[in-house]
């Protein structure tokens, strides 16, 4: 069977980005709600199984990182407002902290939640 690799069409690896869940997550507020919910779920699991909760806490930020990276990649030629520059810096700090959490096992989860709350305040401030 001759299979031709393509990034376009229904069966492409990038077709997941066109799914209804990804369209729902394009709203920043819903994306932050999902991330906060996954962090809370990881905290509840911490009561039962601590090593699993560390993985869940790091995995809770995967949808946030994917959607913000896609946003910044698509809009890389655009001039940024002050709020978007602050959100980009929060995104970079969150990414660095999660990578340090994952590889070097630094435990600073509380700082992750504080930065997530600050990002939420920027989103709410922008929508007003």
Instruction: Tell me the per-residue pLDDT of 27-66, one tens digit each, with 9 for 90 and over.
Output: 788 888 888 898 889 888 888 988 888 888 888 888 889 8
Whole-model pTM? 0.73
Could you state, in order of their start, the residue ranges of all structural domains in the chain?
21-127
Instruction: Tell me the per-residue pLDDT of 64-83, one tens digit each, with 9 for 90 and over.
Output: 898 888 888 888 888 888 88
Please say whether the beta carbons of 42 and 53 come within 8 A: yes
């Amino acid at each position: 069977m001759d299979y031709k690799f393509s990034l376009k069409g229904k069966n492409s690896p990038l077709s997941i980005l066109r799914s209804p869940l990804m369209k729902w997550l394009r709203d920043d507020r819903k994306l932050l709600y999902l991330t906060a919910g996954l962090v809370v779920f990881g905290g509840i699991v911490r009561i039962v199984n601590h090593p699993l909760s560390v993985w869940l806490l790091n995995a809770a930020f995967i949808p946030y990182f994917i959607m913000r990276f896609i946003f910044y990649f698509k809009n890389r030629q655009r001039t940024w407002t002050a709020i978007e520059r602050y959100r980009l810096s929060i995104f970079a700090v969150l990414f660095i902290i999660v990578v340090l959490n994952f590889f070097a096992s630094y435990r600073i989860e509380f700082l992750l939640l504080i930065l997530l709350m600050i990002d939420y305040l920027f989103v709410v401030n922008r929508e007003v």
